[in-house]
Structure 1
Amino acid sequence: MDTPVLRLFRPDDAPWLVEQHGVHYARAEGFDDSFGPLVARILDDFIADHDPDRERGWIAEADGQRLGSIFCVRLDETTAKLRLFLLVPEARGRGLGRRLLDTCMGFARDKGYTQMQLWTHESHRAACALYAATGWQLTDSKPVHSFGVDLVEQSWKITL
């Protein structure tokens, strides 16, 4: 595999992202088919209404194949939210997740955000370990029943 490149998200990436999130989380965690439509709504909102100066999405790809994504969206003037962080299984363990995370956080910092937040599930252990290793703080954790399964929902934040 060639060295992956990070490029800006394009609207034609949306169907791939919806499919990958749906397939991956159904296979890995037993999510039902309500997860894909949530991802589709997030992407539809981003495409329709994002501020290209302060909000951005990236796609990682190599050899013409998409490998992952990450998004930085505005919560308020000083806070950005990390969204839709995903790596396909065959791209994991090569530092690509760290590159995506560093790119997203660097963008947020450069655009004047002073903090970031994210929402995830405890079962996403590799991502949570990466957040902790890069200075993110777990701020809330609670059991929920979402997407047809019992999960532990987590909120994280970091000062940039």
Structure 2
Amino acid sequence: MSDMILRPFSADDTAWLIERHQTLYRRDEGFDDTFGPLVADILADFDAGHDPLRERGWIAEQNGARLGSIFCVDAGGGTAKLRLFLLDPKARGKGLGKRLLAICMGFARQTGYRDMVLWTHESHRAACALYAAAGWRLTESKPVHSFGVDLVEQSWRIDL
């Protein structure tokens, strides 16, 4: 994926991000139609008031096709939060996830955050393995019923 570029998120990416999250999570996890609106709310909050010096989103693109995303947002108290980490299935297994995670964590470090947190589900095994390999620690795991399905929700943290 040497011709892959990582570029800043723009408002033009919003509809694509919502659709990809809704479609992929419905197909792969059985999520209901409440998931897309959650993604839309996250993006609306980001668009409405993010601090471009401390918060950023990236889109991975190849030959003009969007293949992934990752966001770093301020969680307060010197903590950054990783959000909206997504890889299109055709881009998985090629090192793109590792590259996106590295750019997001590097930005958080350079920006002066002391640590970083994220929220995910146990079923995202490849992503969880990537987090663990990068030094993240699982801090909480609990069964929940969200988006119409039973899940195991996880919280992860890393010192930067």
TM-score relative to the length of structure 1: 0.98
Letter in 2 for 1:79: T
Distance 1:95 1:134 in 2: 13
The answer to whether the aligner puts 1:22 opposite 2:14 as a matched pair is no
Distance 2:78 2:2 in 1: 37
Instruction: Say which is worse superposed, 74-83 or 115-124, in terms of deviation.
Output: 74-83
Distance 2:35 2:74 in 1: 22
The answer to whether the aligner puts 1:71 opposite 2:87 as a matched pair is no
Residues 99-110 of structure 1 mapped to structure 2, 5 A cutoff = 99-110=99-110
Residues 45-64 of structure 1 mapped to structure 2, 5 A cutoff = 45-64=45-64
Letter in 2 for 1:135: G
Contact 1:80 1:115 in 2 (8 A): yes
Contact 1:2 1:63 in 2 (8 A): no
Partner of 2:13: 13
Partner of 2:80: 80
* Matched residue SS, 2:51: coil
Residues 28-39 of structure 1 mapped to structure 2, 5 A cutoff = 28-39=28-39
Contact 1:6 1:58 in 2 (8 A): yes
Partner of 2:155: 155
Identity %: 71
Distance 1:78 1:84 in 2: 20
* Matched residue SS, 2:76: coil
Distance 2:77 2:48 in 1: 20
Contact 1:2 1:62 in 2 (8 A): no
* Structure 2 unaligned regions, length at least 5: none
Cα distance per residue 1:27-69 (max 9 Å; x no partner): 0010000000000000000000000000000000001100000
Deviation at 1:2, TM superposition (A): 5.8
Partner of 1:90: 90
Deviation at 1:77, TM superposition (A): 3.9
Contact 1:5 1:61 in 2 (8 A): yes
Partner of 1:126: 126
Distance 2:144 2:66 in 1: 31
TM-score relative to the length of structure 2: 0.98
Letter in 1 for 2:69: S
Deviation at 1:78, TM superposition (A): 1.1
* Matched residue SS, 1:107: helix
RMSD: 0.8
- Segments of 4+ in structure 1 off by > 4 A? none
